[in-house]
A = this chain, B = another copy of it.
Amino acid sequence: MAARPAQLAADATEVPEVVVSRLPQYVRALTRLTQQGITVVSSQQLGDLIQMTPAQIRKDLSYFGRFGKQGRGYSVKYLLGELRRILGLDQEWRVGLVGVGRLGRAILSYPGFAPEGFKVVAAFDADPRQVGQMVAGIMVQPMHRLGEVVHELGVRIAIVAVPASQAQEVVNRLVACDVRAIVNYAPVSPQAPAHVRVRNIDPVMALQSMTYYLTAPNSAAKQSASR
């Protein structure tokens, strides 16, 4: 890996991760405003779109500089351009997929990645029956070629769609290949070194965070009935 200026790396880590993880929502909202022909937006209006308070919006953006003029709102085009640049969305990212089962195949066929600058360029599977198959224009490679292909094709990001029991080992191998951004679909939370970002996509956790609201109004009745 190339040496990095220590100061810039430190600056990057100063922004709370939760703030960074919200920026894509800003980008999506601003993109929609652009499509609607809206050129200026207040923090109140932006907040309404992404369900945050104007104060939170201003605080989030203050980490990255001054984008608005006092009392005049934000230029939609300028703010969108800056946020896209800050997030690195002004370039193409090459993505590798590990696991070409049902879910992996749905991911390879998903039309939403390419328009956003994420190009899936390689796919891998441990099952010899999958290797050599063409899926959505990509030939499935054996796992032992992972390091070689990741290096050759400049893959910086991986999507993991393997069974839970294999996820940690796959993440370890990706980390060893210097992949530093991983989207994990396996229903576990794999461990990775601090310099590697892992985002878990977990429909069960999404479901579990909603049943609270279906349950709470009746919790007294439930309690007295069950204990």
Contacts and interface: CB of A to CB of B under 8 A. Distances in A.
Interface of A: 4-5, 8-9, 11-12, 20-21, 23-25, 27-28, 85-90, 93, 95, 102-103, 105-107, 109-110, 112-113, 116, 118, 156-157, 159, 164, 180-181, 183, 187, 189, 197, 199, 201, 203-220, 222-223, 226
Contacts of A210: 157, 181, 183, 197, 199
Given A9-B216, A103-B110, A209 B199 contact: yes
A92 B207 CA distance: 12
The 5 A-B residue pairs whose C-beta atoms are closest, nearest first, are A88-B215, A12-B216, A24-B208, A88-B211, A181-B210
B209 A20 contact: yes
A205 B113 CA distance: 10
A214 B87 CA distance: 9
Given A23-B209, A211-B93, A110 B203 contact: yes
Q: Which of A5, A9, A24, A116 has most B Cβ within 10 Å?
A: A24
A116 B4 contact: no
B205 A88 contact: no
B88 A203 contact: no
A87 B215 contact: yes
A208 to B, nearest CB: 4
